[in-house]
Structure 1
Protein backbone atom coordinates (compact mmCIF):
# COMPACT_ATOMS: atom_id res chain seq x y z
CA UNK A 1 0.00 0.00 0.00
CA UNK A 2 1.48 3.35 -1.07
CA UNK A 3 1.37 6.21 1.33
CA UNK A 4 1.73 9.87 0.50
CA UNK A 5 4.27 11.73 2.57
CA UNK A 6 4.54 15.45 2.59
CA UNK A 7 7.93 16.73 1.54
CA UNK A 8 8.99 19.94 3.23
CA UNK A 9 11.80 20.63 0.77
CA UNK A 10 10.52 23.46 -1.44
CA UNK A 11 12.40 22.18 -4.50
CA UNK A 12 10.17 19.10 -4.72
CA UNK A 13 6.47 18.58 -4.85
CA UNK A 14 4.67 15.36 -4.08
CA UNK A 15 2.44 13.88 -6.73
CA UNK A 16 -0.43 11.48 -6.13
CA UNK A 17 0.47 8.48 -3.97
CA UNK A 18 2.20 6.30 -6.57
CA UNK A 19 3.66 9.13 -8.69
CA UNK A 20 7.30 10.16 -8.89
CA UNK A 21 8.68 13.19 -7.10
CA UNK A 22 9.52 15.90 -9.64
CA UNK A 23 11.15 19.31 -9.65
CA UNK A 24 8.75 22.20 -10.15
CA UNK A 25 8.53 24.07 -13.44
CA UNK A 26 11.88 25.86 -13.48
CA UNK A 27 10.48 28.46 -15.85
CA UNK A 28 7.46 29.20 -13.63
CA UNK A 29 5.14 29.60 -16.59
CA UNK A 30 7.41 32.07 -18.44
CA UNK A 31 7.21 32.46 -22.21
CA UNK A 32 9.79 33.32 -24.87
CA UNK A 33 9.04 37.03 -24.57
CA UNK A 34 10.26 36.87 -20.95
CA UNK A 35 13.77 35.98 -22.17
CA UNK A 36 14.14 39.61 -23.32
CA UNK A 37 16.28 38.58 -26.27
CA UNK A 38 18.02 41.24 -28.32
CA UNK A 39 16.31 41.88 -31.64
CA UNK A 40 17.49 39.49 -34.32
CA UNK A 41 19.23 40.74 -37.35
CA UNK A 42 19.30 38.93 -40.64
CA UNK A 43 21.61 39.20 -43.57
CA UNK A 44 20.93 38.95 -47.28
CA UNK A 45 22.51 35.96 -48.98
CA UNK A 46 24.64 38.39 -51.01
CA UNK A 47 26.42 39.76 -47.90
CA UNK A 48 30.21 39.37 -47.92
CA UNK A 49 31.77 36.97 -45.44
CA UNK A 50 34.05 39.65 -43.96
CA UNK A 51 31.11 41.93 -43.26
CA UNK A 52 28.99 39.09 -41.82
CA UNK A 53 31.71 38.15 -39.33
CA UNK A 54 32.20 41.79 -38.35
CA UNK A 55 28.47 42.29 -37.75
CA UNK A 56 28.17 39.04 -35.81
CA UNK A 57 30.97 39.96 -33.43
CA UNK A 58 29.67 43.52 -33.01
CA UNK A 59 26.31 42.11 -31.90
CA UNK A 60 27.65 38.98 -30.18
CA UNK A 61 25.58 36.56 -32.28
CA UNK A 62 26.64 33.01 -33.04
CA UNK A 63 23.93 32.22 -35.62
CA UNK A 64 22.48 34.62 -38.18
CA UNK A 65 19.39 34.03 -40.34
CA UNK A 66 19.97 34.45 -44.09
CA UNK A 67 17.30 36.03 -46.29
CA UNK A 68 16.56 35.78 -49.98
CA UNK A 69 15.79 38.52 -52.47
CA UNK A 70 12.20 38.90 -51.22
CA UNK A 71 13.18 38.76 -47.52
CA UNK A 72 12.19 35.09 -47.36
CA UNK A 73 14.09 32.96 -44.86
CA UNK A 74 16.55 30.67 -46.68
CA UNK A 75 18.80 29.35 -43.94
CA UNK A 76 21.45 30.52 -41.49
CA UNK A 77 25.15 30.94 -41.02
CA UNK A 78 27.05 29.70 -38.01
CA UNK A 79 29.65 32.37 -37.30
CA UNK A 80 32.26 30.03 -35.74
CA UNK A 81 32.14 27.74 -38.79
CA UNK A 82 32.35 30.71 -41.13
CA UNK A 83 35.42 32.02 -39.28
CA UNK A 84 37.12 28.58 -39.37
CA UNK A 85 36.56 28.30 -43.13
CA UNK A 86 38.03 31.77 -43.61
CA UNK A 87 41.10 30.97 -41.49
CA UNK A 88 41.58 27.64 -43.31
CA UNK A 89 41.49 29.42 -46.68
CA UNK A 90 38.34 27.59 -47.78
CA UNK A 91 36.56 30.92 -48.37
CA UNK A 92 37.76 34.46 -48.92
CA UNK A 93 36.49 37.63 -47.23
CA UNK A 94 34.90 38.68 -50.53
CA UNK A 95 32.85 35.49 -50.98
CA UNK A 96 29.17 35.76 -50.17
CA UNK A 97 27.55 34.04 -47.22
CA UNK A 98 25.31 32.11 -49.64
CA UNK A 99 28.27 29.81 -50.27
CA UNK A 100 28.55 28.93 -46.56
CA UNK A 101 25.00 29.01 -45.28
CA UNK A 102 23.07 26.03 -44.04
CA UNK A 103 19.85 25.86 -46.03
CA UNK A 104 16.56 25.05 -44.36
CA UNK A 105 14.87 21.89 -45.58
CA UNK A 106 11.43 23.13 -46.56
CA UNK A 107 9.77 19.75 -46.92
CA UNK A 108 6.70 19.79 -44.65
CA UNK A 109 6.57 16.00 -44.57
CA UNK A 110 10.17 15.28 -43.52
CA UNK A 111 10.85 18.47 -41.53
CA UNK A 112 7.67 20.11 -40.34
CA UNK A 113 8.05 23.56 -38.85
CA UNK A 114 7.88 24.11 -35.14
CA UNK A 115 6.44 27.57 -34.77
CA UNK A 116 8.02 29.51 -31.92
CA UNK A 117 6.53 32.90 -31.13
CA UNK A 118 6.86 35.31 -28.20
CA UNK A 119 3.97 33.45 -26.51
CA UNK A 120 5.60 30.00 -26.68
CA UNK A 121 6.17 28.60 -23.16
CA UNK A 122 9.85 28.26 -22.24
CA UNK A 123 9.31 24.59 -21.41
CA UNK A 124 8.36 24.03 -25.08
CA UNK A 125 11.37 26.04 -26.25
CA UNK A 126 13.64 23.95 -24.02
CA UNK A 127 12.19 20.77 -25.51
CA UNK A 128 12.83 22.10 -29.04
CA UNK A 129 16.40 23.11 -28.18
CA UNK A 130 17.24 19.56 -27.05
CA UNK A 131 17.39 18.63 -30.74
CA UNK A 132 18.45 21.96 -32.29
CA UNK A 133 21.30 24.40 -31.68
CA UNK A 134 19.05 27.45 -31.84
CA UNK A 135 15.47 28.53 -32.43
CA UNK A 136 14.18 31.34 -34.58
CA UNK A 137 11.48 33.35 -32.84
CA UNK A 138 9.00 34.65 -35.39
CA UNK A 139 5.89 36.76 -35.43
CA UNK A 140 2.58 34.91 -35.47
CA UNK A 141 2.36 34.89 -39.28
CA UNK A 142 6.01 33.73 -39.64
CA UNK A 143 6.88 36.75 -41.76
CA UNK A 144 9.60 38.25 -39.56
CA UNK A 145 12.38 36.82 -37.43
CA UNK A 146 12.13 38.59 -34.08
CA UNK A 147 14.94 36.85 -32.24
CA UNK A 148 17.26 33.88 -32.00
CA UNK A 149 17.24 31.75 -28.83
CA UNK A 150 19.79 29.21 -27.65
CA UNK A 151 20.10 26.88 -24.68
CA UNK A 152 22.47 29.44 -23.15
CA UNK A 153 19.63 32.01 -23.19
CA UNK A 154 17.47 29.60 -21.18
CA UNK A 155 20.29 28.92 -18.72
CA UNK A 156 20.86 32.66 -18.23
CA UNK A 157 17.13 33.17 -17.65
CA UNK A 158 16.98 30.46 -14.99
CA UNK A 159 20.10 31.79 -13.26
CA UNK A 160 18.71 35.37 -13.23
CA UNK A 161 15.57 34.12 -11.53
CA UNK A 162 17.62 32.30 -8.90
CA UNK A 163 16.07 28.88 -9.41
Structure 2
Protein backbone atom coordinates (compact mmCIF):
# COMPACT_ATOMS: atom_id res chain seq x y z
CA UNK A 1 0.00 0.00 0.00
CA UNK A 2 1.30 3.37 -0.97
CA UNK A 3 0.75 6.46 1.14
CA UNK A 4 -0.08 9.67 -0.61
CA UNK A 5 0.29 13.10 0.81
CA UNK A 6 -2.12 15.84 0.01
CA UNK A 7 -1.50 19.49 0.41
CA UNK A 8 -4.24 21.37 2.08
CA UNK A 9 -4.68 24.99 1.31
CA UNK A 10 -3.62 26.65 4.53
CA UNK A 11 -3.32 30.37 4.52
CA UNK A 12 -0.69 31.53 6.93
CA UNK A 13 -1.67 34.53 8.97
CA UNK A 14 0.88 37.32 9.11
CA UNK A 15 2.99 37.14 12.24
CA UNK A 16 2.09 39.34 15.14
CA UNK A 17 4.38 42.31 15.73
CA UNK A 18 5.84 40.64 18.81
CA UNK A 19 6.60 37.46 16.86
CA UNK A 20 7.90 39.40 13.88
CA UNK A 21 10.55 41.16 15.95
CA UNK A 22 11.36 38.14 18.15
CA UNK A 23 11.72 40.24 21.29
CA UNK A 24 14.03 42.85 19.74
CA UNK A 25 14.16 46.34 21.22
CA UNK A 26 14.95 49.79 19.78
CA UNK A 27 18.61 49.39 20.70
CA UNK A 28 18.78 46.46 18.24
CA UNK A 29 18.04 48.84 15.35
CA UNK A 30 21.57 50.26 15.73
CA UNK A 31 20.38 53.78 14.94
CA UNK A 32 22.86 56.59 14.34
CA UNK A 33 23.09 59.20 17.09
CA UNK A 34 20.38 61.82 16.94
CA UNK A 35 20.97 65.20 15.43
CA UNK A 36 19.08 68.01 17.14
CA UNK A 37 19.02 71.79 16.96
CA UNK A 38 18.46 74.42 19.60
CA UNK A 39 15.33 76.55 19.25
CA UNK A 40 17.43 79.67 18.60
CA UNK A 41 19.44 78.07 15.74
CA UNK A 42 19.18 79.75 12.32
CA UNK A 43 17.30 77.90 9.60
CA UNK A 44 20.25 78.13 7.21
CA UNK A 45 22.50 76.29 9.65
CA UNK A 46 19.82 73.73 10.49
CA UNK A 47 19.20 72.95 6.80
CA UNK A 48 22.92 72.71 6.07
CA UNK A 49 23.52 70.31 8.96
CA UNK A 50 20.44 68.23 8.12
CA UNK A 51 21.62 67.64 4.56
CA UNK A 52 25.15 66.78 5.73
CA UNK A 53 23.66 64.08 7.96
CA UNK A 54 20.80 63.06 5.63
CA UNK A 55 18.01 63.82 8.13
CA UNK A 56 14.53 64.76 6.95
CA UNK A 57 13.20 65.78 10.37
CA UNK A 58 15.15 67.36 13.20
CA UNK A 59 14.03 67.63 16.82
CA UNK A 60 14.14 71.15 18.24
CA UNK A 61 15.30 71.45 21.85
CA UNK A 62 14.96 74.19 24.43
CA UNK A 63 17.89 75.51 26.46
CA UNK A 64 17.49 72.62 28.95
CA UNK A 65 17.70 70.11 26.05
CA UNK A 66 14.04 69.12 26.27
CA UNK A 67 12.27 68.42 22.94
CA UNK A 68 9.87 71.20 21.97
CA UNK A 69 8.98 70.04 18.48
CA UNK A 70 10.62 69.33 15.14
CA UNK A 71 11.34 70.89 11.78
CA UNK A 72 10.51 69.26 8.48
CA UNK A 73 13.71 69.94 6.54
CA UNK A 74 12.26 69.66 3.03
CA UNK A 75 9.35 71.98 3.84
CA UNK A 76 11.69 74.49 5.47
CA UNK A 77 14.09 74.36 2.52
CA UNK A 78 11.20 74.93 0.08
CA UNK A 79 10.04 77.96 2.04
CA UNK A 80 13.59 79.31 2.12
CA UNK A 81 14.05 78.83 -1.64
CA UNK A 82 10.66 80.45 -2.29
CA UNK A 83 11.82 83.51 -0.34
CA UNK A 84 9.18 83.23 2.38
CA UNK A 85 11.85 82.79 5.06
CA UNK A 86 15.16 84.43 5.76
CA UNK A 87 18.36 82.44 6.34
CA UNK A 88 18.82 84.12 9.71
CA UNK A 89 15.30 83.28 10.96
CA UNK A 90 15.20 81.01 14.02
CA UNK A 91 13.96 77.43 13.70
CA UNK A 92 11.58 77.92 16.63
CA UNK A 93 9.42 80.04 14.30
CA UNK A 94 9.06 77.19 11.77
CA UNK A 95 8.86 74.10 13.94
CA UNK A 96 5.89 71.82 14.49
CA UNK A 97 5.27 71.83 18.23
CA UNK A 98 4.71 68.59 20.08
CA UNK A 99 1.24 68.29 21.59
CA UNK A 100 1.31 67.19 25.20
CA UNK A 101 -2.20 66.99 26.54
CA UNK A 102 -4.24 64.55 28.59
CA UNK A 103 -5.76 63.22 25.36
CA UNK A 104 -2.34 63.02 23.67
CA UNK A 105 0.14 62.02 26.39
CA UNK A 106 3.88 61.81 25.86
CA UNK A 107 4.94 58.32 24.78
CA UNK A 108 8.30 57.35 26.17
CA UNK A 109 10.47 55.52 23.60
CA UNK A 110 13.83 54.37 24.97
CA UNK A 111 16.55 52.02 23.71
CA UNK A 112 14.75 49.29 25.70
CA UNK A 113 11.31 49.77 24.14
CA UNK A 114 10.18 46.61 22.31
CA UNK A 115 10.04 47.01 18.52
CA UNK A 116 6.41 45.90 18.56
CA UNK A 117 5.58 48.99 20.67
CA UNK A 118 7.66 51.21 18.38
CA UNK A 119 5.80 49.86 15.36
CA UNK A 120 2.45 50.72 16.99
CA UNK A 121 3.70 54.24 17.83
CA UNK A 122 4.87 54.77 14.24
CA UNK A 123 1.43 53.93 12.84
CA UNK A 124 0.34 57.34 14.15
CA UNK A 125 3.60 59.33 13.96
CA UNK A 126 6.21 60.22 11.32
CA UNK A 127 9.12 59.30 13.57
CA UNK A 128 9.93 58.53 17.18
CA UNK A 129 12.36 60.40 19.36
CA UNK A 130 14.34 57.87 21.35
CA UNK A 131 15.41 59.22 24.74
CA UNK A 132 17.17 57.83 27.75
CA UNK A 133 14.74 56.37 30.33
CA UNK A 134 14.88 59.58 32.39
CA UNK A 135 14.07 61.70 29.31
CA UNK A 136 17.18 63.83 29.95
CA UNK A 137 18.59 63.62 26.43
CA UNK A 138 17.71 62.56 22.89
CA UNK A 139 19.52 59.39 21.81
CA UNK A 140 18.23 58.80 18.27
CA UNK A 141 15.31 59.05 15.85
CA UNK A 142 13.48 55.96 14.62
CA UNK A 143 11.25 55.62 11.54
CA UNK A 144 9.22 52.91 9.85
CA UNK A 145 12.08 52.60 7.36
CA UNK A 146 14.40 51.66 10.23
CA UNK A 147 12.00 48.88 11.22
CA UNK A 148 11.70 47.66 7.62
CA UNK A 149 15.50 47.56 7.21
CA UNK A 150 15.83 45.66 10.48
CA UNK A 151 13.30 43.05 9.38
CA UNK A 152 14.92 42.64 5.95
CA UNK A 153 18.42 42.30 7.49
CA UNK A 154 17.22 39.67 9.94
CA UNK A 155 15.13 37.80 7.37
CA UNK A 156 12.05 37.73 9.61
Q: TM-score range by the shorter chain?
A: 0.7 to 0.9
Partner of residue 119, structure 1: 112
Structure 2: 5+ residue stretches without partners: 1-7
Instruction: Report the secondary structure of 1:26's partner residue.
Output: helix
How far residue 87 of structure 1 moved from its aligned partner, in angstroms, is 1.6
Partner of residue 18, structure 1: none
How far residue 22 of structure 1 moved from its aligned partner, in angstroms, is 4.1
CA-based RMSD of the aligned residues comes to: 2.0
Post-superposition CA distance 1:17-60 (Å, at most 9, x none): xxxx4426221211000000001021111111111011101111
Structure 1: 5+ residue stretches without partners: 1-6, 13-20
Normalized per residue, which structure has more helix? Answer: 2
Q: Distance in 2 between matches of 1:96 and 1:105?
A: 20
Q: Distance in 2 between matches of 1:55 and 1:22?
A: 40
Q: What is the number of equivalent residue pairs in this alignment? A: 147
Q: Does 1:138 align with 2:156?
A: no
Structure-1-length-normalised TM-score:
0.83
Q: Does 1:162 align with 2:143?
A: no
Q: Distance in 2 between matches of 1:110 and 1:85?
A: 32
Q: Distance in 1 between matches of 2:66 and 2:146?
A: 25
